[in-house]
Amino acid sequence: MMAEQKRKLRVGVIFGGRSGEHDVSLQSAQSVMAALDKEKYEVVPIGITRQGGWLTGDPMMALAAGRAAAAQPATLLPDPESAALLQVEKVAARPAAMSEVAHLDVILPVLHGPNGEDGTVQGLLELAGIPYVGAGVVGSAVGMDKAIFKAVMQAHGIPVLPWKLVLKTAWLADAEAVLDEIEAALAYPVFTKPANLGSSVGICKCTGRDELRRGLDEAARYDRRLVVEQGIPARELEVAVLGNEDPIASVVGEVRPRRAFYDYVAKYMVAPGSADESELLIPAPLSAA
């Protein structure tokens, strides 16, 4: 008698999302799903629209084409008795019935930015009792918010660059006073950033007052809290860490951008082989110290 075939691990891959980094998430998810060994894993793609709707079926194609209606509405319930992706049947645009699509063994949240990388989806998965890959609720929330992260580092005596937090309300109320305050505290160049966004979206390098004004206007398009950070000559070093109680770290890599800094264009839009393509060094050349 043939040995019973071992069931594949069912992996839910969540991507898209209500974030300025929606398109980046689609690219990441395509890479992740292509890399998963189909002999070991059954992949269940789960797309989230820019408006926050959850989809199953073929959500990647639907989201990439901007046709969410081509996929089937879905949801996850914050109920550990379920631990499954549910298909939603709608009547007159309202949920009318739900049926199970797949019980999920583990989830890969391949989401970027707010409403996905900031602890929100992680909290839902905790409530649903579904194991997931990546940082937990607190780590995700702190790591996503630049202002909170810097404050935590400072509280633990870890050096950070000089920086200022600007509220969008203060910026809109009296821009000149905000500019004066920043110039009194920091020297050009400075970087302006949305506090709670990634992939260098909304980030500007500013070398004077006019650029600082434009940079804060740009950051304010994405967030109500804005970070202004002192610019210094620096290297872009990256390291990955895997594990919980006994984490292991990858070798250190270095990105050497050929643009003014490692911005969104340099990360995702520069064509391979072009003059603006960043140089990648793995491992990074580092001294023993």
- The confidence score (pLDDT) of residue 174 equals 98
- Cα(233)–Cα(287) distance, integer angstroms: 18
Contacts of 211 (CB under 8 A, 6+ apart): 204, 205
Task: Give the model's confidence band at 98: pLDDT under 50 very low, under 70 low, under 90 confident, else very high.
Answer: low
What is this structure's pTM?
0.82
Coil/strand/helix, residue 62: helix
Q: What would the mean pLDDT of 141-161 be, rounded to a whole number?
A: 96
Task: Count Cβ neighbours within 10 Å for each residue of 67-103 and write b for 16 or more, e otherwise.
Answer: ebeebbbbbbeeeeebbbbbbbeeeeeeeeebeebbe
Q: What would the mean pLDDT of 72-96 be, rounded to a whole number?
A: 71
The top-level CATH class assigned to 9-143 is alpha beta
Q: What would the mean pLDDT of 116-137 be, rounded to a whole number?
A: 93
Strands 253-256 and 248-249: unpaired
- The confidence score (pLDDT) of residue 249 equals 96
More confident residue, 265 or 170: 170
Hey, how many other C-beta atoms are within 10 angstroms of the C-beta on 130?
20
Q: What percent of the chain has pLDDT over 70?
A: 92
| Torsion, Cα of 166, 170, 174, 178 (10° steps) | -20
pLDDT tens string 9-34: 999 999 999 888 888 899 999 999 99
Mean pLDDT score of the chain, rounded to an integer?
Answer: 88
Domain boundaries for CATH 3.40.50.20 within the chain: 9-143
pLDDT of 1 > 50? The answer is no
How many CA atoms within 13 Å lie on the side-chain side of 28?
19
pLDDT tens string 108-117: 999 998 889 9
Kindly report the CA angle at 217 between 213 and 223, in degrees rounded to 5? 135
pLDDT of 4 > 60? The answer is no
pLDDT tens string 82-93: 777 777 766 555
- Cα(260)–Cα(264) distance, integer angstroms: 11
- Cα(184)–Cα(190) distance, integer angstroms: 12
- The confidence score (pLDDT) of residue 70 equals 62
pLDDT tens string 250-263: 999 999 998 888 88
Least confident range from 66-70, 142-146, 189-193, 196-200: namely 66-70
- The confidence score (pLDDT) of residue 269 equals 80
Instruction: Give the domain 146-230 fold.
Output: Dna Ligase; domain 1 (3.30.1490)
Domain boundaries for CATH 3.30.1490.20 within the chain: 146-230
- The confidence score (pLDDT) of residue 131 equals 94
Q: What would the mean pLDDT of 159-178 be, rounded to a whole number?
A: 98
pLDDT of 221 > 80? The answer is yes
- The confidence score (pLDDT) of residue 288 equals 79
